């Protein structure tokens, strides 16, 4: 475990840790107001999330390859890390990227959120259900993203690896287990709070 890994127990900056409250608050709020999301909307959001998460993983693989973090000749990120004698801490990787690339990455992240919001707007009938469908699709996308990276380049090697979650408005850094746990609990909150009569 590197010094940087030990320094970040949950997420940085501190307010990113508040995302852990999203599934709890969502469940309580939706349960008290009878969340109406039909199975078709959930299935469509889930399918979109899986496909889009894999697309996002592929984009990140290309970015890592183009920026020299994933030399094509080594095949996998794990092999490239072993070849170079270790991986660079996340903060060093961010500092070495040109600002123009960071700006493009921020635009890509914003476009991702717009796409997920669009799916929620199209698939739900009211504001309460739209928020739930957005979070459902976002959580599915997030889990599929990490699964896609692991299946293709075997990264992350462990759930304790540090990752940059978002760059808007500043870099959000945490160990991989944190967003996966928030996403898994969000999926559970939507399923448990959903009114079965909405089918």
> Residue 91 has what pLDDT?
62
Residue 3 has pLDDT above 90, yes or no: no
pLDDT, one tens digit per residue, over 4-63 is: 444 556 899 999 999 999 999 999 999 999 899 999 999 999 999 999 999 999 988 887
> Residue 90 has what pLDDT?
64
> Residue 75 has what pLDDT?
52
Mean predicted confidence (pLDDT) in 184-189: 98
Residue 77 has pLDDT above 70, yes or no: no
> Residue 9 has what pLDDT?
67
> Residue 150 has what pLDDT?
92
- 11-12/172-175 β-pairing: antiparallel
Q: What is the pTM of this model?
A: 0.84
Secondary structure (H, E, C), 51-106? HHHHHHHHHHHHHHHHCCCCCHHHCCHHHHHHHHCCCCCHHHHHHHCCHHHHHHHH
Using left for φ > 0, alpha for ψ between -120 and 50, and beta otherwise, residue 49 falls in alpha
Residue 83 has pLDDT above 50, yes or no: no
> Residue 93 has what pLDDT?
67
Cβ proximity of 56 and 145 under 8 Å: yes
User: For 160, which DSSP code?
Assistant: T
Taking the alpha carbons at both ends of the chain, their separation in whole angstroms is 48
> Residue 134 has what pLDDT?
98
Give Cα 95 distance to the centre of its chain.
21
Cβ proximity of 157 and 171 under 8 Å: no
> Residue 73 has what pLDDT?
46
pLDDT-derived band at 189 (thresholds 50, 70, 90) equals very high
pLDDT, one tens digit per residue, over 125-169 is: 899 999 999 999 999 999 999 999 999 888 899 999 999 999 999
**Among residues 140, 148, 143, 179, which one has the least CA distance to residue 162?**
179
Residue 85 has pLDDT above 70, yes or no: no
160 vs 21: CA distance, rounded Å: 21
Kindly write down the DSSP assignment for every residue of 20-40, as one continuous string.
GHHHHHHHHHHHHTTB---HH
145 vs 34: CA distance, rounded Å: 30
């Amino acid at each position: 475990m590197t010094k940087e890994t030990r320094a970040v127990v949950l997420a940085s900056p501190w307010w990113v840790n508040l995302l852990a409250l999203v599934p709890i608050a969502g469940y309580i709020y939706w349960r008290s107001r009878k969340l109406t999301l039909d199975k078709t909307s959930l299935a469509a959001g889930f399918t979109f999330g899986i496909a889009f998460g894999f697309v996002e993983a592929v984009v990140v693989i290309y970015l890592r390859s183009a920026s020299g973090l994933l030399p094509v000749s080594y095949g996998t990120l794990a092999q490239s890390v072993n070849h170079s004698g270790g991986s660079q801490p996340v903060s060093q990787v961010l500092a070495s990227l040109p600002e123009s690339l960071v700006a493009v990455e921020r635009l890509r992240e914003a476009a991702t959120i717009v796409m997920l919001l669009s799916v929620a707007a199209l698939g739900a009938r009211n504001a309460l259900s739209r928020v739930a469908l957005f979070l459902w699709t976002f959580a599915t996308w997030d889990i599929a993203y990490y699964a896609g990276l692991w299946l293709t380049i075997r990264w992350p090697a462990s759930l304790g690896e540090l990752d940059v979650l978002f760059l808007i408005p500043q870099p959000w850094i945490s160990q991989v287990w944190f967003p996966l746990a928030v996403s898994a609990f969000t999926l559970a909150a939507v399923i448990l709070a959903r009114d079965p009569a909405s089918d």
